Structures are given as structure tokens and as C-alpha cells.
Amino acid sequence: IECFDVCGKNLYIGTNDCFVIHYNVEERTVGNGPKVVFHNEKQGHKYLAVKKPVIQIKAASALNRIMVLIDNTLSLLNMFDLEPIMTGAKVKGVTYFCINENPTNGNPFSIEICVALKKKQIQVYTVTEDKLVHVKDVHISEPPISVYCMINYETSHTQDLFPFDSEHSKPLIKRISKEEFLLSGPSALGMFVTSDGISQRPPLQWSENIVSMTYVHPYIVAMNDEFITVHSILDQQQKQAIPFQGGTYLGNFDGKLFVASGREIYALVPVAWEKQIFKRFQQQAAFIEFSEGHLEEAMDLFKNSQVDVREVISLYPRLLPSNCNFTRSVPPLHEIADVNQLSRGKEDLLKEYKQFLCTYLADIKGTGTGYKQEIDTALLKLYAEIDSPELIPLIAVDTGCDLKDSVEWLEKYKRYNALGLLYKVHGEHDKALALWVKICNSEVQDESFEGINFIIEYLANLNDHELVWKYVDWVLSKDQENGVRIFTDRPTTEPPSERMRPDTVIDYLHRFPIAVITYLEYLVFQKKLEKEKYHTHLAVLYLDAVLKLIKTNNVKKEEMDKA
């Protein structure tokens, strides 16, 4: 998903592979709660055939049209069958466009848009159902780079406002009311600016790396790579933080808030204050049950009240990642220092509390609660401490474990195979291989390691050929017959390279007679290469093997027949 727009019950999605997809989305309530759910039904899709991502998509219900920006071309599609409008409704060289939400013309069957072009120009168009009518050019001396500026499109007067860090932040602009806008400013500030170029409200203090924001009175909803935050424009204070990773865009569509990740779209639904109070009571009750050792009751309450999982993990010393800046809820949900205080030196009780956390985190992992790194890192530390068989699967499948913290913990409890897998997941292949070699050489002990065949398979699939050759000699000195699979079991999709050329491999394998014969057999019988020198070389090696057997006293007939 690159972009989306919602108009009434119609949801339009633009994808990175050049599709526009149309869904019908209907809001429903179910149960006694009642709970809000959304029913969606696909209406159709259109491939726009330019093999570029759809950058922007905007619906215009008054015209029964949608505007699409793709490959720097702005065009119109029919709102229902998604067919292009061919009557001159197209503008080329466009980098961005926006709709005038406060138009000056009174025609209900047209809309006004502003278009930014690649050249130093901004244009104003009137859009009708069959064409884009050019109204005005607004010339600018230099395109703004790393600075916000305000342009009066009637007089072309330009006023610079303030700079922003173009390397580390995305410029965001949102209309708040008539002639007032919110801009993403320096130092993670949200700056309010009027059409007079002044600010009449204090700025908002955001988190870093805001990627999208929207306004639903009186709240500013903003999103970075970890959270969706809600601030009030009345007192500029943060009211809520919702964990959400991988978000790309959020918007307010006639009072409905939708947020997109790379492959999914979610609705943000307001919760009545009565429910919020009830949820807080549930969370407080959960910690009371936890402190009294009623762990089954605490488990249910933690899950039902959707407590911030970090509140629970923080009760266990050093289980949160060292880079986590979490602070407990204010006002506090409990007065517990940590589980050491609750267990009062009783090892069995402390063990129960740790087993409780293992079960709780494993149950909520992957259920959309967020905080993947915090959950995975805490589980890794717990599994390492109790030598759980779940440690290897946790690391091997989409782990979010913090590397620095986890290395220290795995070394502490001597989980060397798991540490090697963690290095692998983080792309530290040399460190992973060096550790597994130590296990094979009995320099360190770890019975969970599968042995040299695992290293052989790993090297056979490693595309860093320089690193592969670093370990070839060690493998072949241990096991020639299986070690040669480093060269014979390589992926069929691997592009050719000088380091893996058959002649290069054969030259190297001369010191390993079993390996060189096996490799030549692979080239001749499996790859069916017709090069005469490979066939001749293999025949000579066969003959040498037979002659050596003949010279050997008491050779068995079976060995001679095999040769």
C-alpha cells in the first residue's frame, strides 16, 4: 500500500506495483458492547500499466472521479469502474497535488486543486468530470529545499517560515481550520502557522520521525515508526500513545480515522470515557491479583484490559531492552517495585512469576499488541535462563530481539548455538560461523547445535563468497565427503561469480582427493557439463585410485569392484 483515500463507503488503495483497488467498506456494530466492526467487499481493481507506484490518490464524489498521481502524471479515473477518462484530463511533470478545502468558486460540480511541477512552478486547476482546466501559474524563483515557505497564489508573494531537517524528517502539512495549518518542524515540534505567517498556539512536542498526521477536532493524531500519538490542540499535551509499527499513512475521512501499514488498513475507533475508566479499573485489579500471587486471575485481567505489556515486563529487573526508554504509567497503576519484592527471597515463588511472564508474553506475541522488540527480548532472556526449547524457534523466526542485550544474556547462560542464530538473523555471518566452529572444535559446549552438517548447509546457501572460502579449508579438513556440498548444493538462482567458477573450485580441491572426485562427478553426471578436461580429469583420478588399490596388499574384491 502506497496511498489510500476514503469517500463515503468507498475505499481506494494505490499500490507500489501500479494497481488501484476499490473496496466498499461498511461500519457495523455487533454484540451487547456494542463493538464496532468493518465489513469490506472488493468492488474491482485496475492495473495502470506503467510499472511505477501510485504516489497519491484522491476521490471527488461530486464528480464521480478519482485523481491519481503515478509516474509524475496526474490523471482522472471513473470512480466506479476505474476506467481512465480520456478527454484531456491529464497533467504531466507533477510531483504532488492537493485539493483546496476552502475553494473560492461556487461551482458544486467542480473542485480546485493545486499542482506542484518538476520545473519551478505551481499551477492551479479546476477539475470537472471530463477535464482538468488550467487556471493559473504561480512562479517561484527557487523550489523550497529544507525550508517551509508560504505563497500567496494570487500575488505570488513568498514568505519563508522556518527550516526543517530534510535528511531525518519528512515535511508534513495539515490544514487545521480556515487559514491555519500544522507543520512538522525542527526538533520533533508540530508548529501551528496562520496565513499571516504567525503562530497563535504553542507548538506540539512529538516523537522523532513522524511519517503522517491528521486532525480530528480537538486532537492531532500523528504516527512514527513505533506509535500513534494523540495530542490536544487545546493544551498541547499528549493524551494517548498507541503502539503501531510499520505504519505509512493515516487520515481523517469525514470523521473516520484510518491508518495503513504496508499491506493492511485499520480503523481507529474512539472509546467512550466510561469504557476507559472501566479498563483502568481492570488494569489496577490485574496488578493487585498479580501482587497477591493469583496469577491465573491476573493473566485474564492483563489480557482483557490490554495493559501496556511494558508495565508488566518492567516488574522483572533487566528484562526490558537497555535502549527502551519506558517509564511507568502516571498516575501509577500499582505500587510494586519488582518481582523480587513480591517473592521475598522464595526461589519457588520467583520461578512461578517468571513462568507466568513466559506464558503471558508467548500468548500475546503477534496479536497486534505492538512492542515486538520488548516482548521478544524479554522472552529470549527468560528462555535462556531456564534453558527452554522455545529459545531456538524464537530467534530463528522473525525475531525482534535487541542484539546488544541478547548477546550478553546468551553468553551469560552459555547458549552458544542460539547466539550464533541471533548473529545470523542480524546479518553477522562471520561471528555466527566462528561460534559454531568453536562448538564443533569443543572449545565451548552446546548440545543443541546440529553439528558440522549445519555449517556445510549454511555455507552452501551463503552469498558472501569471500566468507565462504574463509571456512572451506576447516570444513574439508573435518569432512571431505560432505564438505564438498558447499559447492554442489548452491542455490540454482545464484548468479555466476569468479570465486565459484568450476575451474577455481577444482584447483583449490586438489589437496582433498575425495572432495575433488565428488565435485568432478557432480559436474559430469549431475550438471552434465561437456567440457573434455572435466571428463579426462575424473577418469585420471579413477585410474589413480585403481592403481593404488592394485599396489595395496590384501585388497578386498568389493573395494576393487567399486573402484
User: Does residue 323 belong to any structural domain of this protein?
Assistant: no
The last residue of a domain, from among 95, 111, 143: 143
Domain shared by 253 and 122, yes or no: no
Domain shared by 106 and 16, yes or no: yes
Asked if the peptide bond before residue 84 counts as cis, ω within 30 degrees of 0, the response is no
Domain shared by 221 and 133, yes or no: no
Domain shared by 2 and 131, yes or no: yes
Instruction: Tell the burial category of 262 from Cβ atoms under 10 Å away from its Cβ (0-12, 13-18, 19+).
Output: exposed
Alpha-carbon 265 to chain mean position: 15
What is the band of 143 on the pLDDT scale with cuts at 50, 70, 90?
low
Domain shared by 88 and 216, yes or no: no
The last residue of a domain, from among 269, 299, 333: 269
What pLDDT was estimated at residue 370?
Answer: 75
Domain shared by 81 and 180, yes or no: no
Domain shared by 65 and 187, yes or no: no
Write out pLDDT tens, residues 464-484. 999 999 999 999 999 999 999
User: Does residue 197 belong to any structural domain of this protein?
Assistant: yes
Which residues constitute the domain of residue 252? 165-269
User: Does residue 214 belong to any structural domain of this protein?
Assistant: yes
User: Does residue 445 belong to any structural domain of this protein?
Assistant: no
Domain shared by 29 and 135, yes or no: yes
User: Does residue 62 belong to any structural domain of this protein?
Assistant: yes
Q: Stretch 317-340: mean pLDDT, rounded?
A: 90
What is the band of 524 on the pLDDT scale with cuts at 50, 70, 90?
confident
Write out pLDDT tens, residues 201-254. 999 998 888 999 999 999 999 998 888 999 999 999 998 888 788 889 999 999
Asked if the peptide bond before residue 218 counts as cis, ω within 30 degrees of 0, the response is yes
The whole-model pTM stands at: 0.64
Number of domains, the chain: 2
Domain shared by 115 and 195, yes or no: no
User: Does residue 495 belong to any structural domain of this protein?
Assistant: no
Domain shared by 136 and 172, yes or no: no
SS3 280: helix
The last residue of a domain, from among 221, 243, 269: 269
Q: Is the pLDDT of residue 88 over 70?
A: no
Domain shared by 253 and 181, yes or no: yes
Write out pLDDT tens, residues 20-69. 999 999 988 876 666 778 889 999 999 998 889 999 999 998 899 999 99
What pLDDT was estimated at residue 276?
Answer: 85
Q: Stretch 90-95: mean pLDDT, rounded?
A: 92
Looking up residue 243, the CATH number of its domain turns out to be 2.130.10.10
User: Does residue 396 belong to any structural domain of this protein?
Assistant: no
* b (16+ CB within 10 A) / e for 349-385: ebeebbebbbebbbebbeeebbbbbbbbbbbbbbbbb
Domain shared by 125 and 242, yes or no: no
User: Does residue 377 belong to any structural domain of this protein?
Assistant: no
Q: Is the pLDDT of residue 270 over 90?
A: no
Looking up residue 138, the CATH number of its domain turns out to be 2.40.128.630
- Number of helical (H) and strand (E) elements in the chain, helices listed first: 18, 25
